[in-house]
Amino acid sequence: MQCPCQSGAAYSDCCEPFIRGKTQPNTAEELMRARYTAHTQVEMEFIEKTHDPESKQEIDMVGSREWAESTHWQGLEIIQTQQGGPDDDVGLVEFKATYEADKGPKVHHEMSEFHKRDGVWYYTDSMHPTQTMVRESPKIGRNEPCPCGSGKKYKKCCGAH
């Protein structure tokens, strides 16, 4: 199975070792990808475990589980990262997560802050909470022609990124 974080790697080689506790993410982006993947797999224990211990009591785990279970996850796009490398203690990761919910297609756009404590990365908070956006144009099917005009199928062109 391809990893839901869209790294291009197999799940077993990408996010699964983090989620199963076999190894720790080396970067803030790796943790961001693993947390997204944990939502797609409804692995809420990982979400709770990787949330900053200082603000863990603020998490609504019941609501988070309900959201993960009722959502059809479609993809993750990392927009940018700032710091968050193996030698850093702080990192920011801006991302967009696309999904289908009961009211149609949506995009969750967020700038997440991460802190490393005792060598372990934790999700701290959303730096710029943004509104979940609703797609304005119809969804492009994977087998439809790419709108860029290349003549290729969307999944083999712009949809492959």
Q: Give the domain ranges of the chain.
A: 11-130
Query: pLDDT per residue over 23-43, tens digit each?
Result: 999 999 999 999 999 999 999
152 versus 25: the higher-pLDDT residue is 25
Describe the chain by its helix, strand, coil percentages, rounded to 5.
30, 30, 40
Average pLDDT over residues 13-23: 97
Domain 11-130: assigned CATH number: 3.10.450.50
Query: pLDDT per residue over 41-74, tens digit each?
Result: 999 999 999 999 888 888 888 988 998 998 999 9
CA atoms within 13 A on the CB side of 44: 13
Sign of CA pseudo-dihedral 158, 110, 112, 18: negative
CB 121 within 8 Å of CB 50? yes
C-alpha angle 121/160/136, rounded to 5°? 90
Helix axis angle for 61-70 and 28-40, nearest 10°, is 70
Q: In 28-159, which residue ranges form alpha helices assigned H by DSSP? A: 28-40, 44-49, 61-70
